[in-house]
A and B are shown apart, each in its own frame.
Chain A
Amino acid sequence: MTAQDWIAVASVVTAGLTIAIGSIGPALGEGRAVAQALDAIGRQPDATDRITKTLFVGLAMIESTAIYCLVIALVLLFANPLLP
């Protein structure tokens, strides 16, 4: 195998690892955030609107870490600077 082939193999493997490992953290974080929000809504049903709004913004923030990993994986797969 030439060097180009090795780069291609490494890119595909790394893209898979990136999205697999990179989605663990955000998944745990989002689960925790939703659990806490449900807990808070259960305690204080009056504050549901505010909690939901804050939850959405927070979830988007947490999710962006996974999105970064997705972007890196997509760059490796479709716009790899090391491959011709």
Chain B
Amino acid sequence: MTPFPAEVLRIGPVVVSDTVVLSLILGVLLVVFGRLLFVSRRTRFAAEYVYETLEASVLGMTTVDARPLLPLVLTLWLFIGAANLVGLVPGLQSPTRDLSLAAALAVISFAAGHYYAFKRHRFAYLRQYIEPSLFLLPLNVLGEVSRTVALALRLFGNMLSASLTGAIMVYLAGFLIPVPLLVLGVLTSLVQAYIFGVLTLVFAAAALAAATPKRPSSEDARPEPKEKT
């Protein structure tokens, strides 16, 4: 099993890689697991407790009302965390080491931020792109795009490098030597999932906050060239 995505089957011109299969299975498993938590009272209370803790931590991160973003961020944490940790199972590779999945997640994060901002502020939020001056429109759009590309490349690069270093250590040293690297890999996996969710939240919150010019922008948002009130 190489660290690179492998072709599983081919339907006409469409190549189905192991990434697709694994992330679909993972998605179904997560949904089933979530359903199973509600079977017994005890697990249900535990799940609700965890949810409330995460909810409080997400809502505490921004100064805007981030309630509509909550399902997205928690789902990203759950899915990316699980997908990253799948790489620890012998014989499996984490699906996020494939640039396709990382890019898909980044596109979701990009689209969701703008969707929620548009839903809340309608066309008023489009004004942030011509904020200091109309001439900065291309730069603002470029900033949005490069931020999304960076989001995808960060997850992809980290997971691929974790998986590659593991493979190289197994090849060079063999038994038990790669274990410290695996521990480091667990840390990387969890941190990257956290980072992806937090950055989605921060970018979306910046888009949400941008249309309310009378408030000082949230401190998590990027410093915007905007006069302070």
| Chain A residues in the interface with B (C-beta under 8 A) | 53-54, 56-57, 60, 63-64, 67-68, 70-71, 74, 78
Could you list 11 examples of A-B contacts with CB < 8 Å? A53-B61, A54-B220, A56-B195, A57-B198, A57-B202, A63-B158, A67-B157, A67-B161, A68-B157, A74-B160, A74-B164
Tell me which of B150, B158, B161, B198 contacts A53 (CB under 8 A). Answer: B198
With the chains together, A56 CA to B153 CA distance in Å?
17
B156 lies within 8 A of chain A by Cβ: yes
| Chain B residues in the interface with A (C-beta under 8 A) | 4, 61, 150, 153-154, 156-158, 160-161, 164, 191-192, 194-195, 198-199, 202, 220
Q: Are B153 and A68 in contact (CB under 8 A)?
A: yes
Chain B contacts for A78, CB-based, 8 A: 4
Seed contacts A60-B191, A64-B157, A67-B154; 12 additional CB < 8 Å A-B pairs: A53-B61, A54-B220, A56-B194, A57-B195, A57-B199, A57-B202, A64-B150, A64-B153, A67-B158, A68-B157, A71-B156, A78-B4
Chain A contacts for B198, CB-based, 8 A: 53, 56-57
With the chains together, A71 CA to B37 CA distance in Å?
40
What distance in Å separates the Cβ of B86 from its nearest Cβ neighbour in chain A? 21
- Name which residue of chain B comes closest to A69, CB basis: B157
With the chains together, A57 CA to B164 CA distance in Å?
24
- Name which residue of chain A comes closest to B160, CB basis: A74
With the chains together, A60 CA to B154 CA distance in Å?
8
What distance in Å separates the Cβ of A49 from its nearest Cβ neighbour in chain B? 9
What distance in Å separates the Cβ of B204 from its nearest Cβ neighbour in chain A? 14
With the chains together, A70 CA to B156 CA distance in Å?
11
With the chains together, A64 CA to B156 CA distance in Å?
11
Q: Are B157 and A70 in contact (CB under 8 A)?
A: yes
